[in-house]
Amino acid sequence: MTETVITARKQGRAGRLTLNRPNAFHALNADMVGRMTDALLVWRDAADVDLIVIDHAEGSRGFCAGGDVRMLAQSGAKDGRDASAFFAAEYRLNTLIKEYPKPYVALMDGVTMGGGVGISVHGSHRIATRNTLFAMPESGIGLFPDVGGGWFLPRLPGKLGIWLALTGARLRARDVLAAGIATHFIEEGAGLADTLCEHGLSALDDLQTSACASFADHMAQINLCFDGASIEAILASLDTGSDWTAKQAGILRTKSPLTLKIALRQLQTGERMTDFRENMRMEYRIGTRLVRTRNFQEGVRAVLIDRDNAPLWEPGNLDDITPAILEGFFEPLSDAELTFIGG
């Protein structure tokens, strides 16, 4: 294996992708996205490739911790072109995985967040381990739960996806399976990729496919409180509940008000859609606009640069976000800009 950000090679009857950017928890950059896309396109019609296996290099704690957020912020502070190009390439990759005609097996062994979710959750087989840590934490940096979040999150049980998107709550190990994010669970993932490449999907026959959730005791409250039509309604419901719901309300009040409103509308809209590509077009519209806001720049500053975790959100209050402001992120783009996923 050469020292590159991702390796793509034929192994047995599989096309194997191994993320290899350990110092960044294998967070995606443009080079990684391009290499993955190129390999998947070659293997899609290859007669000697029966399945795809994606894992990460040994000795690191993350499967894939997200995307190149610093680049997005730097680009957004200028003309936003590099950010738009990255979104286009990343969302094409998400779409390719979602529509892939062969089994796509993701070993989510470690931190799986943001962009890492986009290259795993849309595959046909998703393997969680005791090391898996899943989250969509974008509301804490002023971004939004993209990479297909508008599609898969509202299709999780009850209002679980709304809770995950708005609060950035983390799921661990078997909880990822119980939520329906993973399809299988194994305590220890070492060696599984090699076995899959050698034996194919039969390697999954003995893996766990159901689990009890540690969040099960809160599902009734999640379904009740996160069923609100607006963020204000959700907060009002949380405020009148239990100590646990009050804690969730406190968490929401630390998040970007703009992101909260965008994410809720994104998931409500995505739930009604019947075409994955339509959802990705919506997310592209949001992403190319949101990275250019002062709000996103401030979130990245507070969390990733200065790390004071004290963002001064802009707008600072839910009341300051008018319907016109919110609508501006969802308005259609030109036909040329929408060709990023093939029309």
Q: Which residue carries 């609060």 as its tokens?
A: 167
Judgement on whether residues 55 and 187 belong to the same structural domain of the protein: yes
Judgement on whether residues 191 and 270 belong to the same structural domain of the protein: no
- pTM over 0.85? The answer is yes
Judgement on whether residues 186 and 231 belong to the same structural domain of the protein: no
Q: Exactly one of 115, 116, 168, 270 is catalytic; which is it?
A: 115
**Structural domain of residue 303, as residue ranges?**
216-341
| Banded model confidence at residue 58, pLDDT cuts 50, 70, 90 | confident
Judgement on whether residues 231 and 82 belong to the same structural domain of the protein: no
| Banded model confidence at residue 239, pLDDT cuts 50, 70, 90 | very high
In a domain, 257, yes or no: yes
CATH number at residue 231: 3.90.226.10
Judgement on whether residues 293 and 314 belong to the same structural domain of the protein: yes
Q: Exactly one of 55, 146, 175, 298 is catalytic; which is it?
A: 146
As a whole number of angstroms, the distance between CA 258 and CA 318 comes to 7
Mean pLDDT of 18-35: 94
Q: Exactly one of 90, 109, 138, 298 is catalytic; which is it?
A: 138
Judgement on whether residues 63 and 188 belong to the same structural domain of the protein: yes
The amino acid that residue 267 corresponds to is L
Q: Which residues partner with 111 through β-bridges?
A: 62, 133
Judgement on whether residues 29 and 67 belong to the same structural domain of the protein: yes
The number of distinct structural domains making up the chain is: 2
pLDDT value at 284 more than 80: yes
Condensed to tens digits (0 to 9), the pLDDT of residues 94-137 reads: 999 999 999 999 999 999 999 999 999 999 999 999 999 999 99
Judgement on whether residues 186 and 243 belong to the same structural domain of the protein: no
Cis peptide upstream of residue 315 (ω within 30 degrees of 0): yes
Task: Confirm whether 67 is a catalytic residue.
Answer: yes
Judgement on whether residues 82 and 29 belong to the same structural domain of the protein: yes
Mean pLDDT of 130-150: 97
Q: How far apart are the first and last CA of the chain?
A: 37
In a domain, 188, yes or no: yes
Q: Which residue carries 């299988």 as its tokens?
A: 184
Average pLDDT, rounded, for the chain: 95
Joined together, the tokens standing for residue 150 give: 């508008």
Q: How many CA atoms does the CB half-sphere of 45 hold within 13 Å?
A: 3
From residue 160, give the alpha-carbon distance in Å to each of 171, 176, 204, 224, 243.
Answer: 11, 12, 26, 11, 18
Judgement on whether residues 18 and 84 belong to the same structural domain of the protein: yes
Judgement on whether residues 326 and 262 belong to the same structural domain of the protein: yes
DSSP state of 303: I
- 119: Cβ–Cβ under 8 A, 6 or more apart, which residues? 28, 36, 54, 64, 93, 94, 97, 106, 147
Q: Exactly one of 12, 62, 67, 140 is catalytic; which is it?
A: 67
In a domain, 185, yes or no: yes
Q: Which residues partner with 107 through β-bridges?
A: 127
pLDDT value at 246 more than 70: yes
- Give the domain-ending residue among 204, 225, 247: 204
Task: Confirm whether 34 is a catalytic residue.
Answer: no
Joined together, the tokens standing for residue 91 give: 């969302």
What phi, psi does 96 have (nearest 5°)?
Answer: -60, -45
